[in-house]
Copies of this chain bind each other. A is one copy, B any other.
Amino acid sequence: MILSKTCNYAIRALLYVATRKSDNFVPVREISQKLDLSFHFLSKIHLILIQHHLTTSSRGVKGGVSLARPAEDITIYDIIEAVDGNAMFQNCVLGLENCSDDHPCPLHHSWSEYRLNLKKIFQEVTLADLAEKINNEQVRLSNITEILD
């Protein structure tokens, strides 16, 4: 797996929040039910997202989480960086410590080019882009077919 499970869940959760596009907070319970994920685990993931200023939250009856800034301004890369870090986009594919153009590993050349593309793919796409696709029912967010009822 390229992304950790935690990161997968984070992306899907934020996409769900983005599709709700209400001014209100979205309860974690609702997200976990709609995406069929563990409520407690998702709560924990949200702490990370809050720490990285991707979401804000409110406790209490009308509480929940919401995006910290417009969905247009949050890329998938932002989420990956917050949860999994950016090692994937920087490190040597063979795990060597000072792999560089000057001291390359055998795969350095092809990999460093590829790595940029990987970053690009995730940076080019915002939550808004994907939320629109989801709302147009062109794509899905969960193993369960219907998530938005």
- Report the nearest B residue to A3, measured CB to CB: B93
Tell me whether A110 and B106 are in contact (CB under 8 A).
Answer: no
Tell me whether A140 and B105 are in contact (CB under 8 A).
Answer: yes
Chain B residues within 8 Å of A141, by CB = 94, 105-106
- A95 interface contact, C-beta 8 A: yes
Chain B residues within 8 Å of A145, by CB = 103
Q: Which 7 A-B pairs have the closest CB atoms?
A: A106-B130, A8-B95, A106-B139, A104-B139, A97-B143, A110-B121, A106-B133
- A12 interface contact, C-beta 8 A: yes
A100 to chain B, nearest CB (A): 11
Question: Can you list 12 A-B pairs with a CB-CB distance of less than 8 A?
Answer: A1-B91, A2-B88, A3-B94, A3-B95, A11-B94, A96-B140, A98-B143, A104-B139, A106-B133, A107-B125, A107-B130, A114-B117
